[in-house]
Structure 1
Amino acid sequence: MLKWIQGGISAVTGIAEPEYGKEYIHTVTERLEGKQPYREATRDDFCWKAPEFTNVETATFYFSDAKSGITGFAQIIHSNVLGMRTAAQFTFRIFNAKNPEDLNLWTSTKLNNFRVDGPNFYADDLSVELSEDDKTFHFVSNVCEQSKIDIYFTRCTPAVKAGDDPTTYYGDNLEEPWGSMSHQFWPRNIVHGTMNLKIEVPQEDDDEEDQSSSGDENDDGKEEQEQEQEGEGDNEEQEDEEQEEDDEEESSGSDYDSDSDYDDDYEEIEKVYRDETIEFLEEEPSYGMFVKAFQGMKPHHAAKAWNFCVTHSDKHSVVLMEFITPKSYGSTKVSVGIVTSKDEVLAVCLDNDYQHLNAEVDEVGWEVPKNIKVCFNGYSTKLTDEQIADKESLTDKDKVTAVLEGPFTNLVERVDVMGEVPGFVKNIVSGVAGTKPFIYQYADENFTLQVNNSKKEDCFGWAEVTFISKSDTVTEESYDEK
Structure 2
Amino acid sequence: MFKLLQGTLSTYTGIVAEPVYGREAFHPITDTVKDKQPFREATTKDLEWLQPPSTNVETQTFYFICDKSGYLGFFQVIHSVVVGNVYTTAQFTFRIFNKLKKDEAVWTSTHLEDFMIKGNNFYAQNFAIELNEDGNSYTFKSAVNPESVVDLTVTKEAPGVIIGENGFSYYGTDTKNPWGSMRHVFWPRNDVKGTIKLGEKEIDIEGKAMYVMALQGMKPHHAASTWNFLNYQGPHYSAVQMEFTTPNSYAKTKVSIGILVKDDKIIAATVDNNAIHKDSEPDKDVGWPVPKEIDYDFAGYTADSTDEAIQNKTAKVVKASLKGRLDTLVLRVDVMGEIPGFVKSLAGVVAGTKPYIYQWINPYHFEIEHDGEVSKEEGSCWSEATFISE
TM above 0.5, yes or no, is yes
Counterpart residue type for residue 354 of structure 1: A
Say if 1:14 and 1:300, in contact at 8 Å, map to a contact too: no
**Residue 451 in 1 paired to residue 368 in 2?**
yes
Say if 1:372 and 1:407, in contact at 8 Å, map to a contact too: yes
1:65-84 mapped onto 2 (5 Å cutoff): 65-83=66-84, 84=86
Say if 1:15 and 1:301, in contact at 8 Å, map to a contact too: no
Say if 2:302 and 2:317, in contact at 8 Å, map to a contact too: yes
Structure 2 counterpart of 1:462: 382
Residue 369 of structure 1, aligned match among 291, 294, 311:
291
Distance between the aligned counterparts of 2:11 and 2:64, measured in 1?
A: 35
Distance between the aligned counterparts of 1:10 and 1:108, measured in 2?
A: 19
Residue 262 of structure 2, aligned match among 326, 333, 341:
341
List gaps (5 residues or longer) in structure 2: 1-9
Post-superposition shift, 1:420?
3.7
Residue 227 of structure 2, aligned match among 294, 306, 318:
306
**Residue 99 in 1 paired to residue 21 in 2?**
no
Say if 2:240 and 2:258, in contact at 8 Å, map to a contact too: yes
Distance between the aligned counterparts of 2:157 and 2:346, measured in 1?
A: 48
Q: Which runs of 4+ in 1 moved over 4 A?
A: 421-432
For the aligned residue pairs, the C-alpha RMSD in angstroms reads: 1.7
Say if 2:12 and 2:347, in contact at 8 Å, map to a contact too: no
Distance between the aligned counterparts of 2:281 and 2:294, measured in 1?
A: 13
Residue 381 of structure 1, aligned match among 300, 303, 321:
303
Distance between the aligned counterparts of 1:311 and 1:429, measured in 2?
A: 33
Say if 1:14 and 1:299, in contact at 8 Å, map to a contact too: no
The 1:404–1:80 alpha-carbon spacing in structure 2 relative to 1, beyond 3 Å, is same
SS of the equivalent of 2:62 reads strand
> Which moves more between the two structures, 409-418 or 426-435?
426-435
Structure 1 counterpart of 2:215: 294
Post-superposition shift, 1:146?
0.5
Say if 1:187 and 1:290, in contact at 8 Å, map to a contact too: yes
**Residue 87 in 1 paired to residue 89 in 2?**
yes
List gaps (5 residues or longer) in structure 1: 1-8, 199-274, 471-482
1:199-278 mapped onto 2 (5 Å cutoff): 275-278=200-203
Relative to its length, the structure with more strand (as a share) is 2
Distance between the aligned counterparts of 2:260 and 2:11, measured in 1?
A: 38
> TM-score, normalized by length of structure 2?
0.93
What does the per-residue CA deviation read over 1:262-287, in whole Å, with 9 as the maximum and x for residues that have no partner?
Answer: xxxxxxxxxxxxx221112xxxx300
What does the per-residue CA deviation read over 1:174-196, in whole Å, with 9 as the maximum and x for residues that have no partner?
Answer: 11100000000000000000001
1:129-168 mapped onto 2 (5 Å cutoff): 129-168=130-169
The 1:117–1:426 alpha-carbon spacing in structure 2 relative to 1, beyond 3 Å, is closer
SS of the equivalent of 2:321 reads strand
The 1:296–1:162 alpha-carbon spacing in structure 2 relative to 1, beyond 3 Å, is same
Distance between the aligned counterparts of 2:28 and 2:360, measured in 1?
A: 28
Post-superposition shift, 1:406?
1.9
Distance between the aligned counterparts of 2:114 and 2:359, measured in 1?
A: 31
Relative to its length, the structure with more helix (as a share) is 1
What does the per-residue CA deviation read over 1:334-388, in whole Å, with 9 as the maximum and x for residues that have no partner?
Answer: 1000000000001000000100010011112100000010001110010111111
Distance between the aligned counterparts of 1:80 and 1:96, measured in 2?
A: 34
Post-superposition shift, 1:427?
7.8
Counterpart residue type for residue 417 of structure 1: V
Distance between the aligned counterparts of 1:448 and 1:340, measured in 2?
A: 15
What does the per-residue CA deviation read over 1:189-239, in whole Å, with 9 as the maximum and x for residues that have no partner?
Answer: 0000000112xxxxxxxxxxxxxxxxxxxxxxxxxxxxxxxxxxxxxxxxx
Distance between the aligned counterparts of 1:148 and 1:197, measured in 2?
A: 7
Say if 2:12 and 2:346, in contact at 8 Å, map to a contact too: no
The 1:118–1:173 alpha-carbon spacing in structure 2 relative to 1, beyond 3 Å, is same
Post-superposition shift, 1:428?
7.7
The 1:349–1:13 alpha-carbon spacing in structure 2 relative to 1, beyond 3 Å, is same
Say if 1:14 and 1:301, in contact at 8 Å, map to a contact too: no
The 1:353–1:342 alpha-carbon spacing in structure 2 relative to 1, beyond 3 Å, is same
Counterpart residue type for residue 81 of structure 1: V
What is the identity percentage for the equivalent residue pairs of Structure 1 and Structure 2?
A: 47
Say if 1:41 and 1:158, in contact at 8 Å, map to a contact too: yes
Structure 1 counterpart of 2:189: 188
Post-superposition shift, 1:108?
0.6
Distance between the aligned counterparts of 1:43 and 1:422, measured in 2?
A: 35
Distance between the aligned counterparts of 1:462 and 1:50, measured in 2?
A: 29
Structure 1 counterpart of 2:322: 404
The 1:420–1:64 alpha-carbon spacing in structure 2 relative to 1, beyond 3 Å, is closer
Say if 1:441 and 1:465, in contact at 8 Å, map to a contact too: yes
Say if 2:229 and 2:243, in contact at 8 Å, map to a contact too: yes
Distance between the aligned counterparts of 1:382 and 1:413, measured in 2?
A: 38
Counterpart residue type for residue 333 of structure 2: V
Structure 1 counterpart of 2:7: none
Distance between the aligned counterparts of 2:11 and 2:45, measured in 1?
A: 33
The 1:14–1:35 alpha-carbon spacing in structure 2 relative to 1, beyond 3 Å, is farther
